[in-house]
Amino acid sequence: MGLALEVVSILLPVVIAGGIAVFVVIRMKHKYKKGTLGKKKSKGAQSLLDSLIPLGMMIGCALAVLLSIFFPISLLSTIGLGAGIGLLFGYFAYEIYSKKGEIFS
């Protein structure tokens, strides 16, 4: 029983982060084929829009490292989960910001 729990605790973060990554890639591919990717008028706003997904992943990794410092969770699994969850939040931020009007000029 202990071996099965170890295998699950190792594979669960990989499966969750992989599922999130597949979801985001398929959604972005669908948006690209439809021609509905987010476009902004100014170069700075477009640069921010293009950077939201990688920024989400970096923030997710940083929060995961902080979480693993304070709780007895494996650092390797928290980094993987943090990047996956950050990817998802970055994608949602991309969707929200691409639908809004030009805020920053």
pLDDT tens, residue by residue, 37-96: 888 888 888 888 889 999 999 999 999 999 999 998 888 889 989 999 999 999 999 999
* 105 within a domain of the structure (yes/no): no
**CA-CA distances (angstroms) from residue 42 to 4, 24, 47, 48, 78?**
53, 25, 9, 10, 36
Range of the domain at 44: 2-99
Quick one: how far is CA 23 from the chain centroid? 10
Q: Supply angle C-alpha 81, 78, 54, rounded to 5.
A: 50
Local confidence band at 101 (pLDDT 50, 70, 90 cut-offs) = low
Lowest-confidence region among 17-21, 52-56, 92-96, 98-102: 98-102
**pLDDT for the residue 42:** 86
Residue 63 covered by a domain? yes
Task: Report pLDDT for 26.
Answer: 96
Q: Is residue 18 part of a domain?
A: yes
Q: State residue 88's pLDDT score.
A: 95
Inside any domain, residue 68: yes
Task: Report the number of distinct structural domains present in the chain.
Answer: 1
Q: Let me know if residue 104 belongs to a domain.
A: no
Q: Read off the pTM.
A: 0.83
104: pLDDT strictly greater than 60: no
